Amino acid sequence: MDFETLIPLMRSLALEAGDKIMEIYNSDDFEVRSKSDDSPVTIADEAADAIISAGLRASFPEVTLITEEQAQSHALKADTFLIVDPLDGTKEFINRRGDFTVNIAYVENGVPTRGVVYAPAKNRLFITDVDGKSVEEVGPFARDIAGVQNKISVKVPDNSALLVVASKSHRDQATEDYINKYNVADSKSAGSSLKFCLVATGEADLYPRVGRTMEWDTAAGHAVLIGAGGDVVRFDTHESLTYGKEDYANPFFIAYAPGVELKSAQ
């Protein structure tokens, strides 16, 4: 893969999609529909998907592209592929809470090695560089020229006082029960793939997800976390979370900074 081309392209497309999303987000009203699985979708999801898909297919037509908003792509199978969630956190978008992201990732042999996570309403942009190391770019953001990019890294956790982040829209009793296995200094909620990025920057140590997600929800954030020295494992076995699974559905998982003494699921 030509990462010298891919990384700037993913960054530019994420910013362009984010601009379109914010245009709709700041409008007086927008239509909300339900997909076949009853999850919500808006014109912002579809507009962002059109921008990203066109850009990726134009530059990398030979690479399999999986995107949430194109159901026909979910039948494609490959070990190495591009995967997109053009608007992760649609519920946050609909409720104008700001915790939504644009996610673009590249998966190699089942591992997300490159990714971009852009939170346009939060003005935060996380990128893996050509070497797979993660940075956070400081705005204002220009599509054609990268700004100041600061390296990010997980912090060394204190197991007697962990910082935990969990889903804002899906924080249930099972999640609370698992979090209560740890000595927690602070626990907060956040939406979308921002949770991976908070672990990547050291703003959190642990993100458990006891609920359904799809690979397009997690791949970009997972790549950013890997590039910052963190990891994501299955909730049940603590084995690495892999990609390209049947129907692109994830098991429950734990994203964390190495040094966290992971507790069993039982």
Q: Is 87 annotated as a binding residue?
A: yes
What are the domain boundaries of the chain? 3-151, 162-256
Of the candidates 129, 107, 43, 134, the residue with the CA atom closest to the CA atom of residue 240: 107
Average pLDDT, the chain: 93
Predicted confidence (pLDDT) at residue 9 exceeds the cutoff of 70: yes
Please report which helix (H) or strand (E) contains residue 200, including its range: helix 194-200
Which DSSP symbol is given to 102?
E
In this prediction, residue 34 has a pLDDT band, given cuts at 50, 70 and 90, of low
Say yes or no: do domains 3-151 and 162-256 share a fold: no
Tokens at residue 65, please? 């592209």
Residue 29 pLDDT: 75
Q: Is 176 annotated as a binding residue?
A: no
Q: Rounded to the nearest 5°, which phi and psi values hold at 64? A: -60, 135
Q: Is 217 annotated as a binding residue?
A: yes
Class of domain 162-256: alpha beta
CB 255 within 8 Å of CB 236: no
Q: Is 89 annotated as a binding residue?
A: yes
Inter-axis angle of helices 43-59 and 3-25, nearest 10? 160
Which DSSP symbol is given to 263?
P
> Residue 238 to residues 131, 170, 245: CA-CA distances in angstroms?
26, 21, 17
Which residues are registered as beta bridge partners of 65?
82
Q: Is 158 annotated as a binding residue?
A: no
Report the pLDDT averaged over residues 171-197: 91
Predicted confidence (pLDDT) at residue 253 exceeds the cutoff of 70: yes
Considering the four listed CATH numbers 3.30.540.10, 3.40.50.300, 3.30.1370.10, 3.40.50.1000, the one that applies to the domain covering 3-151 is: 3.30.540.10
